[in-house]
Amino acid sequence: MAIGEQLKYGWIRGGKLAVPVPMAAAQALANASGMFVYMNAGAATLNADAIGSIFGHLEAHAHTPTVGDMLNCIIDITAVFRIPVNSGTYAVGMIGDQCDISISGTVQGVQLDASVENTLTVIAGDADNNNWVDVMMTPTEWGTTIGVDA
């Protein structure tokens, strides 16, 4: 099976350094969805539109964790993840470009028509059906973007 035919969402290749993170309230994790999070006051919160930092991608099944539940989070910036397209149309010319994340319903996906926060970098995609893209976390947006003394 060629890489483009792989139907799995989430981590697909690259580094897999991970840490346990405590979950924030009301984080509904869905199948066929991305599970990128940022850290908000020490709790992992799903990335959505207008969030300017990224910390990692959860390794979890579809469910709504209880506040404080510890979930494994891949924080390796060399990791590659496959997530759905929420808006915009993938084109091969987007490889290397940065884009934003959004949540539509319960599905976290990319906004290929937005690049304000630039939390993800496109490295491949579904040029036939526009269902998915392969992305990496943009290194300059990784972390909380604030210092420990803030």
Name the nearest CA neighbour of 126 among 1, 30, 7: 7
Report the C-alpha dihedral over residues 40, 45, 48, 49, rounded to 10 degrees: 0
Query: How far, in Å, CA of 46 to CA of 54, rounded?
Result: 9
Q: With a threshold of 0.85, does the pTM exceed it?
A: yes
pLDDT per residue as tens digits for the range 76-126: 999 999 999 999 999 999 999 999 999 999 999 999 999 999 999 999 999
pLDDT per residue as tens digits for the range 23-82: 999 999 999 999 999 999 999 999 999 999 999 999 999 999 999 999 999 999 999 999
Apex CA 80: angle with CA 131 and CA 109, to 5°? 35
Domains of the chain from N-terminus onward: 3-138 (2.40.300)
Give the HSE-up count for residue 83: Cα atoms under 13 Å, Cβ half-sphere: 33
Q: Are 37 and 55 in contact (CB under 8 A)?
A: yes
Q: Which residues pair with 131 in a beta bridge?
A: none
Give the HSE-up count for residue 18: Cα atoms under 13 Å, Cβ half-sphere: 17
Name the nearest CA neighbour of 45 among 67, 60, 78, 19: 67
